[in-house]
């Protein structure tokens, strides 16, 4: 499933999704031939492809446009310290979580709605920074990357990065992103460069980086 205008002018379209689920976000963003587009559209699996997710007509009771369970989910997220709100544009409406505009999720309980909203927020934030490299990331990988993206300096360092592998220190103290040569960046309270080499199912720092990180520290892939 592709949008006609981006396809016609040669702008890449891709879907960011959790392989275990049936929903994702279709993204088409860029400029070619003097035309600029920016599409972020929720899609769902349709056989071997994708289709735009259908939304029910908004409820108007009491002047609102979201279901009660979604409203309850927003209250729950607000109590956890998230910034929440609503948006309306051209007859459509949705929710805002931590500055990210989202459509209302398909869910039956407040707990389920809250989980979906946080998931879609993570997808949008990671896709904004990594672009098509975010395609196919699992929920666990997105959660790890979101911890990095909370720091604006770290997020800027990841823009355009060649990410081939995501590692985490066995003691949970660092998260590292590597390119195909085993070099990359590690994030904890600060950011540092590092190089790794495989050691069975684990990875270990090599060269001067091994001395800096401590030779006893082990790193494992985040699957």
SS (H, E, C) 96-145: EECCEEECCCCCCCHHHHHHHHHHHHHHHHHHHHHHHHHCCCCHHHHHHH
Same domain, 63 and 146: yes
Same domain, 63 and 110: yes
What are the pLDDT digits (tens) for 35-73? 666 667 777 877 777 777 655 444 444 345 788 888 888
Among the candidates 28, 54, 80, a domain finishes at 54
What is the chain's mean pLDDT, rounded? 76
Question: Is 174 a member of any domain?
Answer: yes
> Which residues span the domain enclosing 13?
1-54
Among the candidates 9, 33, 54, a domain finishes at 54
pLDDT at position 211 over 70: no
Question: Is 198 a member of any domain?
Answer: yes
Question: Is 156 a member of any domain?
Answer: no
What are the pLDDT digits (tens) for 68-101? 888 888 888 888 888 888 888 877 788 888 888 8
What are the pLDDT digits (tens) for 170-208? 888 888 888 888 888 888 888 888 888 888 778 888 765
| In the block, residue with structure tokens 């592998």 | 165
Beta bridge partners of 27: 14, 40
Put simply, whether the predicted model's pTM sits higher than 0.85 gets the answer no
Among the candidates 115, 150, 185, a domain finishes at 150
Same domain, 90 and 44: no
**Per-residue model confidence (pLDDT) at position 135:** 67
Same domain, 114 and 174: no
pLDDT at position 209 over 60: no
Same domain, 14 and 85: no
DSSP state at residue 177: E
Question: Is 157 a member of any domain?
Answer: no
């Amino acid at each position: 499933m592709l949008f006609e205008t981006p396809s016609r002018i040669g702008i890449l379209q891709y879907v960011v999704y959790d392989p275990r689920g049936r929903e994702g976000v279709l993204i088409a963003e860029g400029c070619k031939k003097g035309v600029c587009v920016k599409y972020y559209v929720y899609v769902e699996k349709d056989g071997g492809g994708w289709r735009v997710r259908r939304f029910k007509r908004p409820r108007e009771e009491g002047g609102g446009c979201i279901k009660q369970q979604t409203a309850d989910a927003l209250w729950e997220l607000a109590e956890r310290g998230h910034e929440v709100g609503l948006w309306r544009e051209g007859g459509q409406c949705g929710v805002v979580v931590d500055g990210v505009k989202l459509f209302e999720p398909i869910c039956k309980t407040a707990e389920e709605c809250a989980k979906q909203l946080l998931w879609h927020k993570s997808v949008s934030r990671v896709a904004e920074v990594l672009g098509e490299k975010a395609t196919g990331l699992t929920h666990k990988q997105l959660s790890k990357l979101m911890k990095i993206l909370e720091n604006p300096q770290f997020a800027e360092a990841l823009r355009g990065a060649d990410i081939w592998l995501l590692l985490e220190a066995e003691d949970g103290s660092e998260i590292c992103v590597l390119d195909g040569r085993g070099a990359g960046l590690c994030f904890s309270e600060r950011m540092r460069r590092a190089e790794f080499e495989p050691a069975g199912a684990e990875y270990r720092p090599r060269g001067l980086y091994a001395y800096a990180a401590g030779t006893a520290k082990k790193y494992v892939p985040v699957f």
